[in-house]
Chains A and B, each alone.
Chain A
């Protein structure tokens, strides 16, 4: 094994692995969409593990020497023991472990499940849902005996975690999903050995407003008399959403996506996460919005805040698991 980082980077073909945990497959789609562009890059690397697209077995990864994979890209949040185990294994075998996409970076939308217990989920899905008929109260069993035949299912944990809440992560590629461009940049930087400090997010460290085509109409001195939910008014296709009284996560979100949602005439929902100067994305936008609420008496403030009926889902849509809040406190432990 070569221990000098520089020498390693000069080895002819760095080994790259992809893996997914609790995710939707959208990150994989981005990698597939990249296929045409990335052919040049693919020629320069050996893909040693990509279960979704290529035939490799877990045993092959186990058999590799430690640190023999140059970079592993892991998407998805961590919900089960199996995902935790794979995260540990890839950490052990890789020089660089990269959290790819919102779920791996900060828990993502599945992380919103941290407001509920596992029991609430199982009870609704298998009993309470209006189309379920289950008089015997059957639940999926991790071990089930059917006529002497033993059938197994994995168990899912009570809590959703981001990748770095389970193992050490070297770099982060944000987005739900990350864009092909930002992925190409990140892979390029790694392969060329242009390495930023460990723990960096591989995306520009400036707020989204900077690249938003509506930037010029952003009010310098906002003052909110009310917040309007997007379905309640016709949205102006060129005016800053905040100037329209619609909550936009842009000011507390990292740029790099080329403002895709605003170009679809909908506000940013924050999937690229915060810039490096912000500890908690939700707290940041909350403080800046609330500081600019015009009324100062409690009843009038409440009235204004009626326009934001779900602060968790609005401010922490992709980042609850990794935020200062993490999860609802009074949930049962298992």
Chain B
């Protein structure tokens, strides 16, 4: 073939290939339409078989903010709890605080203390569930253990059947306390603006005091289990502190006047990637500090620090991304008000090399520290003579207009913001749910895990396990955005080669 013919041939071939590639890139992969309720990851490879881009997508939206319009504000604690059946108490409580703010009313001391008692029991129960059942097995049983063993049964095998019984029993008793006040444990009904509907009968106090004492012992036991099994194993510590699970971002959490962690009330404090205070503000000012960015490829929005502007999925000094939840709460605070949690807090930072801790997997450790605080707080509140007072409600008298309420949910800062007419009928509701605050960091963790594991087009079988471990650390409650139980997040990963062809599809339900 002469040179000219060869060139024409090659050009024609290149054009044909390009056209073919373009067509292939647009092929609709049928199962993608069947992903409602799943986390979904699309991974695109470059020509060398490395990861060019990974998308973490949340494919669902229910529209609570819009169908709250026209509802009486006092119904909101019960309506918004339906955002999530796993953490209904967090929404119920954030909404109650929003109503206090809306009506400019403060619950009497007993009303406030009962709320905080129920909330502490909820945080404890939810954290315990995660440590023993959902995320913890990765460590207690081991990240390399077969998936069939990385569950509560594997945990029981490792720590003994008595512990298994203890976990189930403790969770049941904590849930009974929530139901005592809330009527129901899933979707409680106790909160009204200015207080709670039901008080604590002194006759029932000894039972709950015993529960709190047992709970504190259980929380300390859990910290010991974590130390013995995880921290004494250099391999695990190496994994926790490895680059693949590290992101240098900002951190946010609710703190009291002394910058101590508080789940129920306080101001929001943000620290920068070096651990220096970036901002501290009353929750009513959240719009000056927090904004949400929209991407066309996910129904979940991506919050960032408004004063810095949206800078993309960046970490380090150029980042405007903040994280929430246990890791962030410890980074954003100066400690705890209770002695045992404070001691655990100091040990935590000493073990992990000082503040701030950027290792996503350290969230598991931070969660155990918070369990101790929740249990100590329950003991404190139940020993407070005011808790059995019959004064549990203040009837609101002011004309409502705007309310903003924030709590720390197990999975991070939870914002409720309502505007009403003078009758207290909702005109506008804005919600930033806990997991959503972490959405940008979760997306970064997914891409980091994918990039770390996929090389030369070879896809490690362990990819989903490792990616899921990054997820599980956040305990992403996509139940708030989808409807799966946290930690059991069904996950689908599609991997496309550089021509946009689907190369592998991995599913984990």
Contact = CB atoms under 8 A, between A and B. Distances in A.
Interface of A: 20-30, 32-33, 36, 51-58, 76, 79-83, 85-86, 108-110, 112-113, 115-116, 120-122, 124-126, 129-134, 138-141, 144, 146-154, 156, 176-177, 229-235, 237, 260-266, 269, 306, 309-310, 312-314, 317
A33 B485 CA distance: 13
Interface stretch (B178-186, B205-213, B275-283, B453-461): B178-186
Given A20-B483, A108-B82, A121 B61 contact: yes
Given A266-B189, A309-B423, A261 B490 contact: no
Given A85-B34, A231-B192, A153 B57 contact: yes
B434 interface: no
Given A36-B168, A131-B292, A28 B485 contact: yes
A317 B65 CA distance: 15
B186 A266 contact: no
Tell me which of A21, A36, A126 has the highest count of chain B C-beta atoms within 10 A of its own C-beta.
A126
Contacts of B63: 113, 116, 121, 125
Given A26-B82, A140-B296, A148 B500 contact: yes
A126 B301 contact: yes
A69 to B, nearest CB: 17
Nearest to B78: A269
A176 B187 CA distance: 8
B66 interface: yes
A55 B508 contact: yes
Contacts, number: 261
B85 A263 contact: no
Interface residues of B, number: 99
Contacts of A83: 36
Nearest to B71: A313
B193 A231 contact: yes
Contact of B190 (A109, A124, A266): A266
Tell me which of A22, A57, A154 has the highest count of chain B C-beta atoms within 10 A of its own C-beta.
A154
Contacts of B299: 140, 153
A138 B295 contact: yes
Contacts of B55: 151
A54 B82 contact: no
Given A24-B86, A29-B485, A152-B29, 8 more contacts: A80-B36, A116-B67, A130-B428, A151-B55, A151-B297, A152-B42, A265-B198, A314-B75
Nearest to A259: B183
Contact of A149 (B78, B291, B496): B496
A192 B155 CA distance: 35
A258 to B, nearest CB: 10
B479 A309 contact: no
B37 interface: yes
B184 to A, nearest CB: 5
A235 B183 CA distance: 15
A53 B487 CA distance: 10
Contact of A138 (B37, B296, B303): B296
A264 B66 contact: no
B75 A313 contact: yes
B186 A26 contact: yes
Given A82-B34, A132-B292, A29 B189 contact: no
Nearest to B496: A149
Complex A-B, nearest 9 residue pairs according to Cβ-Cβ distance, in ascending order: A26-B85, A264-B183, A121-B63, A82-B36, A24-B85, A25-B479, A25-B85, A265-B197, A266-B189
B74 interface: yes
B387 to A, nearest CB: 17
A131 B65 CA distance: 13
A18 B36 CA distance: 16
B28 A152 contact: yes
